[in-house]
Amino acid sequence: MTCYYQGCTSKGTTKEHIPPKAFFPEGERDQLLTVRSCPHHNNAKSNDDLYVLAHICMNASPSNRAREVWEAKVVPQLSFNGDKFREMLAAGAKPNSDGVKYPVNKRRFDDFFTALSCGLIYKSQKSPLPTSYRIGHIYHAFTSDADPAVQLLEAAIGAFYSGPPIDSFDFGKPNLQNERIYTAEIFGHAGFGGHITIAHCFFGTFKVTSMLSKF
């Protein structure tokens, strides 16, 4: 069995959790989904998992279980290795009318959500995403310096994919099992017949739309 990651032909000799174990409290890991992964793609984004989780919790708290997961998973790591993680999160932070604005490393988010999207596709179709697809992500919770027309378009995309897909556009179910922490709906024609869209939602409020465009 090959690795879940798009374009990887290595054998899947390990298991990758989707979403990562760091997102779930102790005692709930039996609800995690796994896909077969090569060692490289199992470990490549491990340093991004906690970084992405911290920013999601900061943007989602106190909704649902975000504060609980922050306290259990992120806080113990803030002082690790001489406060390095705390300093990294706080670097470049600026006060604004809502509190504090923290800069986000988009590359790390993109790497994380590309891997997560590949995992969801593999789980729902039992095969990896073909290399004919390009992957991009929209982060609806983050402020942007983009043109207002682009921001309006991104908001419209988020609204359009806010509910479950109709039967003719239901790509498949990954069977996620902990909806208070993470949900995902996959829109597209099963069998990779066209473009695919994944609507991610963490803690009921932090939304990301992954656009998988077929070329």
What would the pLDDT profile of 33-74 be if each residue is shown by its tens digit?
899 999 999 877 777 999 999 999 999 988 779 999 999 999
- DSSP class of residue 70 equals I
Q: Considering only residues 151 and 188, tell me which one the structure prediction assigns the higher pLDDT.
A: 188
Burial of 183 (0-12, 13-18, 19+ CB in 10 A): middle
pLDDT above 80: residue 97: no
114: nearest Cα among 208, 38, 2: 208
Question: Which of these ranges, 63-67, 100-104, 122-126, 152-156, has the smallest mean pLDDT?
Answer: 152-156
Residue at 6 is within a domain? no
Rounded to an integer, what distance in angstroms lies between the CA atom of residue 204 and that of residue 33? 19
Rounded to an integer, what distance in angstroms lies between the CA atom of residue 114 and that of residue 75? 26
Residue at 46 is within a domain? yes
Rounded to an integer, what distance in angstroms lies between the CA atom of residue 85 and that of residue 76? 10
Residue at 3 is within a domain? no
| Terminal CA-CA length for the chain | 26
Structure tokens at 141: 């919770």
Residue at 5 is within a domain? no
Residue 89 phi, psi (nearest 5): -65, -35
Please tell me the total count of domains within the chain: 1
Question: What mean pLDDT is predicted for residues 12-36?
Answer: 85
Q: Domain range spanning residue 87?
A: 14-214
The pTM (predicted TM-score) of the whole model is 0.91
Residue at 92 is within a domain? yes
Which region, left, alpha or beta, applies to residue 204 given φ > 0 means left and ψ of -120 to 50 means alpha?
A: left
Contact call for residues 10 and 2 (beta carbons, < 8 A): yes
Structure tokens at 98: 């809502």
Computed from CA positions of residues 190, 191, 194, 198, in that sequence, does the dihedral angle turn out positive or negative?
positive
Burial annotation 153-177 (CB, 10 A radius, 16+ → b, else e): ebeebbeebeeebeeeebbbebebe
Residue 184 phi, psi (nearest 5): -150, 135
Contact call for residues 74 and 40 (beta carbons, < 8 A): no
Give the CA radius of gyration of the chain. 17
pLDDT above 80: residue 205: yes
Give me the pLDDT at residue 145, please. 62
Residue at 101 is within a domain? yes
Residue at 1 is within a domain? no
Residue at 58 is within a domain? yes
